Amino acid sequence: MLHTCYIHCIYKAQLNPFSRLCHFYCRQPSKGNQISFGNFSCTMQRLHWGNRITNTVTATFRQCSTFEVGKKVTLTRRFSEEDLKDFAKLTGDYNPIHLDDKVALSTGIFVGRVVHGALINGFISGILGTKLPGPGTIAFSQEMRFPKPLYIDEEMTAEVTIAAIKRKFLECNISCFVKQSSKVVMSGTATVIKV
């Protein structure tokens, strides 16, 4: 049994003034750390009984997704030289540390070309938008740190975990690391809205 449902409706006046497309999210009383998102079509009928107006809503569910604290997605990725060149071309970030081994080595800090931090974060954006929470996800805020560099062709493991649920906001913990060396290359949090 659903304890509380928050419904946001969009009028489709051109079809029927009492027909709406609705989005909902509900909490179950026994699972305070779980939330369901979805949408359904509903028709509202007004019944007149003297001066009293009663609204009756008939709903047909089309789809529903359930999320809970602790749910996690893990993916791996290697970034190639071509990936870095394409990203530089797309963003205009031609910093030679990302594109020239000699420049990267001359810093005395790096042992090769470094993957753009924003490119790593872009991979996380793909996870948020297609895997967890998935399609319909809108970014609200992010906080990221890049403790160690990620180099070309290193296999990176990315993990996104739901850490908290606050109404329609999902707070996610993010960790990207090289499993072989236990090197963390990006970590942080993201707050997203599922619509």
Mean pLDDT per 10-residue segment, the chain (195 residues): 38 38 42 50 46 45 64 95 96 95 94 96 94 88 96 96 90 95 95 87
Query: Comparing C-alpha atoms, which of 153, 160, 130 is closest to residue 83?
Result: 153
User: What is the Cα–Cα distance from 162 to 120, expressed in whole angstroms?
Assistant: 19
Task: Report pLDDT digits (tens) over 72-84.
Answer: 999 999 999 999 9
Task: Report pLDDT digits (tens) over 172-193.
Answer: 999 999 998 889 999 999 999 8
Residue 191: beta bridge partners?
A: 141, 171
Are 140 and 193 spatial neighbours (Cβ–Cβ below 8 Å)? yes
State which CATH number among 3.40.350.10, 3.30.160.150, 3.10.129.10, 3.30.365.10 fits the domain covering 71-194: 3.10.129.10
- What is the distance, to the nearest Å, from the Cα of residue 54 to the centroid of all Cα atoms in its chain? 39
